[in-house]
Structure 1
């Protein structure tokens, strides 16, 4: 808190804005030495240099906006990417929402998008420092001279927030565990406020609840829309939408965002898997959001493709296809998944650069790579997968996605 107090002064903010981007640890050390030599206090130097470094990191999520924002390390890690937050705000507007309470606003990533879309925002966070940072970040959208509407930040728990003037709620419950992954199942006990409280509120008020993408699907409300979102190849969130924010007839959705383009697949329920078939000329890896939403079968049928194995999320076809929902590989050769057989093929193909992917096999790609002979100036992808009761290796080339 002392560092934040030192920073949130005219002199502190002026010093920060004049420091410019700081990327490396060496640049951090040089900046600290320079500012300390100029007579600035240790607290101020630590705060200013730390914020300059975080602003540089935040550019990946917030673009040019990062240059005027403040962050905490945890807040930046957990914050919604601005492009994804804009999609949340667009949904609010399409549903006719004019005011929203952001409960657990963090540093204000989603609240910024809501305010930027013209919504009145009540942003709430239980952590005093985080709430102060959110207030700074949302200041350009605050009431003028203390009057009118706009973005207002309160230091409060979600449960104590006054929702009487809010037409909808957005929640990003804090995860009690450090970070979240695409593979670990996340349960109700991992969140604060409790998901029982959150889901109860969502049953009464139009709500969007941001959860870890690996959240237990069986614990989701039956009458809500569950939307998995991937951004540039990574599944970044699961959002549970209720009330007017849930689309009619949609219970499962996969939103795939790449750069400034987005594509979405929706359904009223989990899709039935496609039938299996022998490996063809092409192998297709569904986007992680499609896999999480269990819409692989719908994608397979749209591509006239089949499942490589009923337990493995790989598709195959004989015809070249382009789809935003899969990454396609042109098959070169298949072989037994043992280093000796694979190395022989790599040598004959002159492969020196190899991407290794795996699914359904207990293999550590990094350790496996050390067993392979890589020589040459060509590159390829090696896909290790269980097909039936056999472990197979598929040497393939990525097919560039459609423009």
Structure 2
């Protein structure tokens, strides 16, 4: 979205038109909406801007729920925005630490600033892009304790606030079709700038979950966050925003609510042992935080194989930090043998999981020629150095 498009959209006519334009998805529906709006005499440029926003609002419901119906977005801004339920966790840290005045430097479309403002924090949101800052201004309009400034995050006077939230731009500039920047020196602000601020001001920093762990200072709390089994971010916390004695945290958000596994350092590993009656696949946040050893001890487990993130145990335990499976059988990773066994067991649907083997699950599933009525899970991995298939079924009941 360019400045001229946004200017048209922010007129009374534009906003009224957007509010009565439903979300659209398929091509036929888009054609019908465009035809109707142009038939009403609206400017083609305005129609295009409204249609783009209607599509973005519909897509944004996954991150912002009902709030999306009144927000504005850019394509890149929505892609990079924090989910509202995760942003609420960020805001809660600042509130719990008693940091009343917060700067959101590199605020994007304003998702984190919205969550902070909703907790009555005084928020100054800063972005250097004119369109993005205007979108954030619209999204924060409901909160008098929030304001947006157009400017460079690196030039912001940190003495104005009690704490800082930073989400460095890790993609090329633009509002759509951006590309990822691999070098932290190219981020805006750069990682060195971010860490320098963290030494003088209580700071929270949102980063990609796959960042090189060697770049993480030992003085900061590192928190990996997953939502519905997808690892969505790494957050680094400094000063009073960091919890005493915590340097590694895995925060797992899902239907169960919010659960957290923490440690003073990477967890000590457990030993490798024989396949038990149950198998556990750790949540990605637990794996990233290197707290698999603590998870394994909580289920009286052992590692299935060296360097592979599967835990096995003789106990069935309900845990938010892993997906649990009952092990039905252990077999060689041989397509013909597996196909015959699954046919004999009347299996027609297979969930395939893999670690430590080079297998394309989609192609492997086709080769099994499934036709039955039952469903099972196949875990393809290494066991005692051999490629192995574990025939499993998911644990669905809460078990203590």
Q: TM-score, normalised by structure 1?
A: 0.94
Aligned counterparts of 1:259 and 1:78: Cα–Cα separation in 2? 23
Structure 1 residue 401: Cα displacement: 6.0
> Could you tell me how far 1:368 is from its partner in structure 2?
1.6
Which residue number in structure 1 is paired with residue 159 of structure 2? Answer: 164
- Out of 90, 96, 99, the position equivalent to 1:97 is 99
Q: Quote the Cα distance in structure 1 between the aligned partners of 2:314 and 2:222.
A: 33
Work out the CA distance in 2 between the residues paired with 1:383 and 1:260: 24
Aligned pairs for 1:292-311 (under 5 A) are 292-311=288-307
**Alignment partner, residue 25 of structure 2:** 23
Contact 1:229 1:257 in 2 (8 A): yes
Deviations 1:33-71 (A, max 9, x none): 111121111110011111111111111111110010000
How far has the Cα of 1:191 moved from its partner?
2.4
Question: Partners in 2 of 1:42 and 1:393 — Cα distance?
Answer: 58
Residues 215-261 of structure 1: per-residue CA shift (max 9 Å, x gap) = 01111011000000001110000000001100011000000000371
- Counterpart of 1:203 in structure 2 is 199
Unaligned runs of 5+ in 2: 173-177
2:158 touches 2:201 (CA, 8 Å); kept in 1? no
Among 335, 340, 344, the alignment partner of 2:336 is 340
Partner of 1:137: 139
- Residue range with higher mean Cα deviation, 4-13 or 159-168: 159-168
Distance 2:124 2:21 in 1: 32
Q: What is the match of residue 173 of structure 1? A: 168
Distance in 2 between residues matched to 1:387 and 1:45, nearest whole Å: 59
Bigger Cα displacement from structure 2, 324-333 vs 14-23: 14-23
Q: Does structure 1 residue 215 correspond to structure 2 residue 217?
A: no
CA, structure 1 residues 364+28, in 2 after alignment: closer, same or farther (shift >3 Å)? same
Alignment of 1:240-259 (within 5 A): 240-259=236-255
- SS at 1:105 equivalent: coil
CA contact (8 A) 1:104 1:173 kept: yes
> Are 1:79 and 1:107, in contact at CA under 8 Å, matched by a contact in 2?
yes
Q: In the aligned structure 2, how far is the partner of 1:385 from the partner of 1:232?
A: 24
- Cα distance in 1, alignment partners of residues 194 and 128 from structure 2: 15
Could you say what secondary structure the match of 1:159 adopts? helix
Alignment of 1:114-125 (within 5 A): 114-125=116-127
Superposition CA RMSD, Å: 1.6
Name the stretch that deviates more: 7-16 or 382-391: 382-391
Q: What are the ranges of 5 or more consecutive residues in structure 1 without an aligned counterpart? A: 143-149
> What is the Cα deviation at residue 179 of structure 1?
6.9
1:45 to 33, 44, 47: 47
Q: Judge conservation of contact 2:256–2:320 (CA < 8 Å) in 1.
A: no
Tell me, what secondary structure is at the counterpart of 2:38?
Answer: helix
Q: Is the 8 A contact 2:23 2:54 kept in 1?
A: yes
What TM-score, normalized to structure 2?
0.95
Partners of 2:255 and 2:72 lie apart in 1 by: 24
Measured at CA, do residues 187 and 338 of structure 1 come closer, stay the same or move farther in structure 2, by a change above 3 Å? farther
Using the alignment, how far apart are the partners of 2:83 and 2:338 within structure 1?
40
Aligned mates of 2:19, 2:201 — CA distance in 1:
41
Task: Return closer, same or farther for 1:53/1:120 CA change in 2, 3 Å cut-off.
Answer: same
CA distance in 2, matches of 1:151, 1:236: 26
Q: Secondary structure at the match of 2:276?
A: coil
